[in-house]
Structure 1
């Protein structure tokens, strides 16, 4: 017996050692495979980037080359005297060329002595000689086709950015040299393009001549760079002159990079793109870190279970305690999985919206954009922002962190008011039946969220019926509640008058019992990809819970489903309150003085610029402490305070309370996109502007909040 016990203990000890050794060995193998995979992915990204840079450079040089050829045909056979006589006309043509091609700084026509006959900068050109420039003397002795020069600095009186020349020889009818046609190309045009395509950390792009002279570089250099033909880069290019992929320490900064290069067609130009090897390793570290995040807890859990088994043979009670700890760890793992699902869904939807916004911004930056297309792209950005705000609102509603705007309203009347919109939304093939009470059913909740919840339940019912069937909306008061709601309302006066129950019943296919427990989870949906976000019922759940109510569902396969939304009922003697419309235009400030408190400088500048344009006088501070100091010093110069809620140190709520405590009679308007304090305790009597907000909405709220104070000031006068 004792021998068997010793053997079982020894076996458990070996298993504990293996639970550590095996994951470590697997991690080492996975790390090796992952490093190779990360390098391969990085190489493919680098090669795709150099392909983009190659196509860009080829199009730019071909465009300039064709323009030079066209200019050469224009002046072919014309003596210098005639060209000088036509200088104003040719100047305008060259100027139009440089304006149409943003990569060009200027365009020139030189005589045989290197003096400018025409250029695109000034008319007539000054009497200066340029025979010492490489783009000129390279053509004197022989015809070499298109020549691409070194980076140069403009010669006084000409000023501006550095450039490199791209030139062609002017020949007489007998083939003798009579001058040069040249275009000054801006390296910064290429560098700006490289900055856009090389946004990843550690990105690198460069363009240079075959002799090693670097023409453009990203990140930009403060000095000229010439690669040594005998160096590592030069030797690799000599061995593989068309294209290649190397790892090398770049001469300009000594940073080791993985670089791909490619020659630009027949031009003596190479383009290169790469990534710092440290950035590639950082990607690998991030990937392995993700493995460790899950691997270490899993390994630790296995080790813990074995340790529990070891102690179980000695202490049965200790085994039970350890088992409970393992169950808690499993629940935590499940919560992490749900959080990962939520995060992935949010990232997917927001990436779609950001893609629309980014593409629209890029298209707006294109030259010669028509007004119709510009308006279309601006509308796309505005629509994407609105959809993002709606998605954020749904998430906050599910999490019960959405600052609600409760008001007393008749649930039956509100359901009736949605009839026409629901008829349009659901379609003519669905019969809508509304069973509404004769007496008012008053609730105190966010009316907008209430309507959204009804629309979400109706849409869910429509999809369950495949667009054809019958939906019944029923509103009634009840004192019978489900167990969860009874627990939520225990000890709360808000439930003393019972509940208002709004039911939505359909004749759809019903919900399987196995899925009933998951239908309120965020991003859980049985619809096809692209036909639903999985946030509709989550919003209903979050709204009901945050309003002190509950939502339940009963369903039978083949006989439809019934969703019941419970909201605490308020006394019948309270009258519904009407909300003012929020679609009014912006309100002029007329010199109204506003103290803006915002720690995000970009958002603060946006609000300040918009309000200033409407005639408001703005004082901007980035924290609540400085704002309070401004008010204590001279509160009379401000008509109101507009403050963010979430700030380091003193929050906007703290600032509002401090203003009240000091007896400062300046109204406070708060703004936030998310605040747990606001969702729990409200806005402390202050007007609230939800982020994201428009300048029109902000001006209306500020004007409304400041009006009582301005009236009192006028009465005092």
Structure 2
């Protein structure tokens, strides 16, 4: 029971641990899956945004490229002087072009010296050279197609936003350099577009040349920054020059970002789009927090419920343990109460027996006592001693505490032996009637528990009659069983001849019908406080059920009650043999040497004197240690050892074991009135004489033990 309770508490503890560990493990797994899913979603968003940014950049540069090609066709066959002469008209046309394309700040036509022939900003243009600008000198030595320059600041007198140049070479018919056509492109145009398509927190865009020069960036950072080709960004792009994804700390601000990049087809330009990794983690945390909003309360509630169940179970088990302790205490109290009632009656009987013995001894001491009267007094003493021994054995049988030890016994014989004890227990005001069958009624059950059950039912009947009335004990074979035994009768008929029924009928007050269903419950009693524990009938019920039987009751208020104890009947061939009579005459010693070990000097002298008169040679010692010394020194002197069991220091059993250890082959006979060791371990194969014993009984046992030794010695020779 206690093991099951510990297991239930351990199970609840495991469940409490699991209620936290399992959600945490599931949350960790779900968090990992959710984080990877968030990264995948972010990568797909970056790819879609990058597609838009790439298409936009491609169209912008293609438009600018077509516009520059158209301007080049317009001035292809015109000399610089002709262009200057037509400057107002060309200025207007360039201005219309710049106004039509929001990405353009201005459009320019330069001569071979870098001076503006015409532009969309001023007419006529100032006499100023731009030969040092990258969009100009890049075309001087060779034809490179469309050139995209770095971000520049307008040169006075021109003002406004910064720009980068997109330019083409003007060549003569023979291919010589005659000037440049250039469009000034606004980085802000791209950044404004990026701001419209990148509204999510942490969005990032950049556009730059293949050599690492940045042209536009959102958030707007340093446009003059040039990415290191040997840095992390440069190495990642070099590994995958057309398209790729990377997670890097952006050099201009140090923020970690997830960035996708793509080369603009036909142009030395990369566009990139990305998200800050902190923003991606923020998305993931938002998703996880939504799970936590529901998961945490549910997990906490489950843990609290399990903790409450654990504490409640622990409390209930503590209460159950206290109840069991109380039950054991009450059972012990009930047993002591019954034992007290029994020993009170036994003490009365013992005093009567001692009075008989004392009076007989006094009368034997009178002078001139006739032989007839002397023999009568001696007989009275012997009968008193026999009755005292019987009362002692019954008291020990009742007082023992042990588990059920089934044995086959005759219920009728056991009831006959219990009559005197029951008479003492119930008192002289109770009339006892026993109705016993002539044939044996054998059962297989614990005899001690059976006697306790009889005493409990008798005590219950006495209390119901308020100590005055008539109790009838009836033993008979049950040819039929009550309905409560229907579940047993079908199986028992194949295994044994049925049941033996013992009924206990009283003339008491009876039991109300409403209480009949509870009288076998532990602690249930109708008696006043201090007059009963309510455990007596529950012992009867438990003994009956544990023995494979049943107990029933029939009662009517004012008409008394009848309790019926049913026990499975044992086959007749299991009837135990009757013990041999103990009234055999004394056996002469004929010089047999006996070592008597008895710490009680009076009792030792009595045994020594009685055996000496029968012709035994006696050596008397009062402790087992001296006896063992005698045996070690002169073992061949003795034919048998007669030893008490209970002695200070070395006991009789210890002496017997020491003799075996030293290979002393002298037989040993033990004697005791009661020994806890013997009641637990048995006599271990030794002869045993129960106290009180007679000289006749003792001489027979000693002679038998010595004869067995002589037979063994003869067989060995």
Name the TM-score, length of structure 2 as normaliser: 0.43
Q: Kindly name which structure, 1 or 2, has the bigger radius of gyration based on alpha carbons.
A: 2
